[in-house]
Amino acid sequence: MAVLWLDEISAGDLETVGGKGASLGELTGAGLPVPPGFVVTAGTYRSFIEEAGIDDELFDAVDVDADDSASLAEAADRAQELITETPFPDDLREEILAAYHEVGSDGADAAEEPADGDDGGAFVAVRSSATAEDLPDASFAGQQETFLNVTEDRLLERVRECWASLFTQRAIYYREEQGFDHSTVNIAVVVQQMVDADKSGVMFTSHPSTGEPTMIIEAAWGLGEAVVSGAVSPDNYVVSREDGSTDVTVAEKKVMHVKDESTGETVEREVPSERRDERVISEGEIESLVELGERVETHYGEPQDVEWAMVDGEVFMLQSRPITTIDETDRSEGTGIDPIDGAGDPTAGVTDGSGALKGDAETGASGSNGDSGTTLVDGLGSSPGIVSGPAKIVRKLDDLAKISEGDVIVTEMTMPDMVPAMKRATGIITDEGGMTSHAAIVSRELGVPAIVGTTNATSVLEDGQVVTLDGERGAVLEGAEVEPEEETEPVEEVRPQSPVKPMTATEVKVNVSIPEAAERAAATGADGVGLLRTEHMILSLNQTPEKFIEENGTDAYTNELVEGIRSVADEFYPRPVRVRTLDAPTDEFRQLEGGENEPNEHNPMLGYRGIRRSLDRTDVFAHELEAFRRLYDLGYDNVEIMFPLVNDAEDVYQAKRQMSEAGIDPAKRKWGVMIETPASALCVEEMATTGIDFASFGTNDLTQYTLAVDRNNENVADRFDELHPGVLRLIGDVIETCREHDVDTSICGQAGSKPDMVQFLVNEGISSISANIDAVRDVQHEVKRVEQKLLLESVR
């Protein structure tokens, strides 16, 4: 038997029908409303390649050095060609087509009137279904092929394409890395009648973060792919399973996925204006979904993540998986560590995000903790958490060897070479630097409490002296205030975060600057990465791009970027990762080997950086863009490109041209710009016509350029104010213009982590907010609060 019907399958048939097939079979058997269909079994794939005699050639072709991009690309092409160009044996063809016709006839009870193709056959969905070997990480394995609205003429081709999806570059690379033998991996294909949904979405039968008895339903118009792929912001319905109360957030649903009547293809269409803000599901429909959710959860005995669709009020289940994101740490509220006096107030002694400490004098006085601990030094609390340990003064790189777990690094300024030691350390204190310095960004991302910009820590503190560091307030106290076993607690637990991850219409993303932080960033439950800075990947090479290329070649340079970006894109897949092209000022490059060739600039912040440098050195920029092209070839379709420091449409057109020349089709990829200069804010209307998908506020730079306040200059730090009316007016106008032109807006500067700015932005209608790792959860709550307020106001 080449195929098995869904009602013949149970969960135990995983090896034969793959995860998706087994789950659908199980649900069908439990009497749940699953559209009819069958599975082309994994054994059928196996006998297809063996009987055609292509198996040995196939496995030889993919036995390559996966780190060699050229061989990997060649291997994937050859393997996929072998499968897609080998004809079906007659008996197999007939068996699959006979099953297909049955789906279109008596099996077709998915809707009263089955959706028919031109030839009268049913429209079916064809999806790959990974088998046991790859299941733990099926998303990495690339077996994600899904074809919708398929009819008889393309069915067999689509089945072969699902088989070939075992051999995308990304899948081959992944198996090589994980040590999987290519010849032991199989794949099944689910063929199932399409539900021509008028509304659809996902449902979590318990809270996806906390496991609370709350059902969360997301719903949008048309086919569910728009919700699953993130193309649309869906409505959000939170239903208490204890008292049945419902909390509804209606989103603006700009697009929907529907079947094109003439071609049968799934296409993205604009939602008619009158339905954009219309609530998708009624109270009665919520009840049907909740009832279904309860049945499926009871059947499996654990919370489920369900994909559903509705046709004329009738509900269908398309998929159900256990929820894997319920986070144990979210259940623990705090750790019992007594915060140092004043630390409970998150604004006490915290900087405005730019430079100097607000109220230094008070901090000095109140920093003394009464009978325990005198304030030794103070600075900017740049990464929250309270820890104690022996101070270790690092004056040169050789000193890093003396850093053991539990030590507090005290140094003038951290450097990329220090990252391994920073990971070991329990805390970090620097003399120099502001909130966006290397030490501040890296420590925050590593979750290590830190204080920067103390000016004198390396001279005041003594080597080996035990200190307590309060990364919230920016104070270093004498002695140990925190018990050693408590010191190693992750920072999220030191600083209790709200326990529930709220669903929001405005997306909440996270900023990442070092690939080492990707896992921690992904665990926040953020909707993606709003800014991945690439500078730290280059700075850690310790050579300027030009020098590195001169010594190691262009391919090595591109590979460094591919590897750095890939590690983050993998961690978040399929959530989007917005990668910014290089933007390091010349004074940062000067510290590297080759830095002697950097131009000597009077004011590097106004100088040769960002897109200006890229468009001037297109020879180097091309190799950076080549990294993106390779990532797309590898299947990282979640990667987006963002250009920094553009001023006008001309800058954008030039960048776009470079993208095309590097073999990246701007029409097929998501790309956009940062709004960091007043000129870019004032010229956004022209920029919106260049084809950009998004504009993201870099408020660190936008503030310094609007107010003429150098973000690194302590003398004017008290004037650095991202909430200045001038800055807010520019931001508000850009959001309005972008909304008119259907360009998404976002923020990725420090200010996105501040509640006041979040309130302003949500009220203005920003599409997404990207925050620091430690701020994501609080920002999610703030966004939710403001959205609910807006909703209430709109109905009052």
Residues at the site binding Mg ion, with contacts judged by CB under 5 A: 676, 698, 701
Task: Please tell me whether residue 185 binds ligand PEP under the rule CB under 6 A.
Answer: no
Task: Please tell me whether residue 585 binds ligand PEP under the rule CB under 6 A.
Answer: no
Query: Which tokens hold the place of 486?
Result: 């408590």
User: What's CA 221's distance to the chain center, in Å?
Assistant: 24
- With CB under 5 to 8 Å by kind, the binding choice for 446 among ligand PEP, Mg ion, none is none
User: What's CA 81's distance to the chain center, in Å?
Assistant: 32
Nearer to Mg ion, 173 or 643 (CB): 643
Of the residues 533, 575, 623, 777, which one makes contact with ligand PEP according to CB under 6 A:
533
Say how far apart CA 434 and CA 441 lie, in whole Å.
Answer: 10
Task: Please tell me whether residue 436 binds ligand PEP under the rule CB under 6 A.
Answer: yes
- Smallest gap from residue 644 Cβ to Mg ion (A): 6
Q: What is the DSSP letter of 767?
A: S
- State how beta strands 187-193 and 146-150 pair: unpaired
Among 162, 683, 748, 781, the active-site one is 748
Of the residues 698, 761, 766, 767, which one makes contact with ligand PEP according to CB under 6 A:
698
- With CB under 5 to 8 Å by kind, the binding choice for 564 among Mg ion, ligand PEP, none is none
Query: Which tokens hold the place of 732?
Result: 């508000």
Among 207, 257, 438, 623, the active-site one is 438
β-partners of residue 122 are 116
Helix (H, G, I), strand (E, B) or coil at 440: helix
Say how far apart CA 241 and CA 262 lie, in whole Å.
Answer: 43
Task: Please tell me whether residue 354 binds ligand PEP under the rule CB under 6 A.
Answer: no
What phi and psi values does residue 452 have, to the nearest 5 degrees? -120, 165
Nearer to Mg ion, 80 or 513 (CB): 513
The 3-state DSSP composition of the chain as helix, strand, coil percent (nearest 5) reads 45, 20, 35
Cβ neighbour number for residue 37 with a 10 Å cutoff:
29
Nearer to ligand PEP, 36 or 749 (CB): 749
- Smallest gap from residue 605 Cβ to ligand PEP (A): 9
Residues 6+ apart with CB under 8 A from 748: 511, 530, 531, 578, 674, 696, 697, 698, 770
Query: Which tokens hold the place of 748?
Result: 């990725």
Task: Please tell me whether residue 255 binds ligand PEP under the rule CB under 6 A.
Answer: no
Cβ neighbour number for residue 412 with a 10 Å cutoff:
15
Which among 723, 685, 795 has a CA at the least distance from the CA of 250? Answer: 795
Nearer to Mg ion, 187 or 747 (CB): 747
- Smallest gap from residue 20 Cβ to ligand PEP (A): 39
- Smallest gap from residue 495 Cβ to ligand PEP (A): 23
The span of 329-337, 447-455, 480-488, 695-703 binding ligand PEP (CB under 6 A) equals 695-703
Long-range contacts of 548-551 (CB under 8 A, 24+ apart): 548/594, 549/620, 549/623, 550/594
Task: Please tell me whether residue 699 binds ligand PEP under the rule CB under 6 A.
Answer: yes
- With CB under 5 to 8 Å by kind, the binding choice for 492 among ligand PEP, Mg ion, none is none
Task: Please tell me whether residue 701 binds ligand PEP under the rule CB under 6 A.
Answer: yes
Of the residues 175, 749, 758, 784, which one makes contact with ligand PEP according to CB under 6 A:
749
Nearer to ligand PEP, 293 or 353 (CB): 353
The span of 314-322, 699-707, 778-786, 787-795 binding ligand PEP (CB under 6 A) equals 699-707
- Smallest gap from residue 354 Cβ to Mg ion (A): 13
Task: Please tell me whether residue 33 binds ligand PEP under the rule CB under 6 A.
Answer: no
- Smallest gap from residue 639 Cβ to ligand PEP (A): 18
- With CB under 5 to 8 Å by kind, the binding choice for 774 among Mg ion, ligand PEP, none is none
- Smallest gap from residue 41 Cβ to Mg ion (A): 53
Q: Are 258 and 223 in contact (CB under 8 A)?
A: yes
Q: Which residue has the tokens 């063996």?
A: 50
Task: Please tell me whether residue 700 binds ligand PEP under the rule CB under 6 A.
Answer: yes
What phi and psi values does residue 586 have, to the nearest 5 degrees? -60, -30
Nearer to Mg ion, 160 or 580 (CB): 580
The reply to whether 748 belongs to the active site is: yes
The span of 170-178, 357-365, 650-658, 696-704 binding ligand PEP (CB under 6 A) equals 696-704
Would you put residue 681 in left (φ > 0), alpha (ψ -120 to 50) or beta? Answer: alpha
Nearer to Mg ion, 676 or 721 (CB): 676
- Smallest gap from residue 701 Cβ to Mg ion (A): 4
Nearer to ligand PEP, 369 or 436 (CB): 436
β-partners of residue 188 are 129
Say how far apart CA 593 and CA 81 lie, in whole Å.
Answer: 45
Say how far apart CA 534 and CA 564 lie, in whole Å.
Answer: 8
Task: Please tell me whether residue 748 binds ligand PEP under the rule CB under 6 A.
Answer: yes
Task: Please tell me whether residue 531 binds ligand PEP under the rule CB under 6 A.
Answer: yes
Say how far apart CA 439 and CA 429 lie, in whole Å.
Answer: 9
- With CB under 5 to 8 Å by kind, the binding choice for 264 among ligand PEP, Mg ion, none is none
- State how beta strands 386-394 and 466-470 pair: antiparallel
Nearer to ligand PEP, 44 or 436 (CB): 436
**Footprint on residues 70-129 left by ligand PEP (CB under 6 A):** none
HEC profile of 500-523: CCCCCCCEEEEEECCHHHHHHHHC
Task: Please tell me whether residue 676 binds ligand PEP under the rule CB under 6 A.
Answer: yes
Say how far apart CA 69 and CA 735 lie, in whole Å.
Answer: 40
Would you put residue 317 in left (φ > 0), alpha (ψ -120 to 50) or beta? Answer: beta
Question: Each residue of 585-601: b (16+ CB within 10 Å) or e?
Answer: bbbbbbebebbeebeee
- Smallest gap from residue 416 Cβ to ligand PEP (A): 15
Q: Which residue has the tokens 């409970």?
A: 344
- Smallest gap from residue 428 Cβ to Mg ion (A): 23
Task: Please tell me whether residue 445 binds ligand PEP under the rule CB under 6 A.
Answer: no
- Smallest gap from residue 436 Cβ to ligand PEP (A): 5
Task: Please tell me whether residue 435 binds ligand PEP under the rule CB under 6 A.
Answer: no
Q: Are 752 and 699 in contact (CB under 8 A)?
A: yes
Task: Please tell me whether residue 777 binds ligand PEP under the rule CB under 6 A.
Answer: no
Using CB under 6 A as the binding criterion, the count of chain residues that bind ligand PEP stands at 11
Nearer to ligand PEP, 128 or 354 (CB): 354
Task: Please tell me whether residue 505 binds ligand PEP under the rule CB under 6 A.
Answer: no
- With CB under 5 to 8 Å by kind, the binding choice for 436 among Mg ion, ligand PEP, none is ligand PEP
Q: Are 655 and 647 in contact (CB under 8 A)?
A: no
Nearer to ligand PEP, 165 or 753 (CB): 753
Nearer to ligand PEP, 165 or 581 (CB): 581
- With CB under 5 to 8 Å by kind, the binding choice for 515 among Mg ion, ligand PEP, none is none
* DSSP per-residue codes, 352-371: -SSSSPTTHHHHHHHTS-TT
What phi and psi values does residue 322 have, to the nearest 5 degrees? -65, 145
Task: Please tell me whether residue 249 binds ligand PEP under the rule CB under 6 A.
Answer: no
Which among 308, 304, 305 has a CA at the least distance from the CA of 318? Answer: 308
- Smallest gap from residue 676 Cβ to ligand PEP (A): 5
The span of 100-108, 149-157, 663-671, 692-700 binding ligand PEP (CB under 6 A) equals 692-700
Nearer to Mg ion, 414 or 511 (CB): 511
Task: Please tell me whether residue 196 binds ligand PEP under the rule CB under 6 A.
Answer: no
The reply to whether 257 belongs to the active site is: no
- State how beta strands 450-452 and 427-430 pair: parallel
Q: Give the chain's largest Cα–Cα span.
A: 88
Say how far apart CA 138 and CA 312 lie, in whole Å.
Answer: 34
- Smallest gap from residue 793 Cβ to ligand PEP (A): 30
Give the interface with ligand PEP as residue ranges (CB under 6 A). 436, 531, 533, 583, 676, 698-701, 748-749
Any idea which residues carry the catalytic annotation? 438, 748
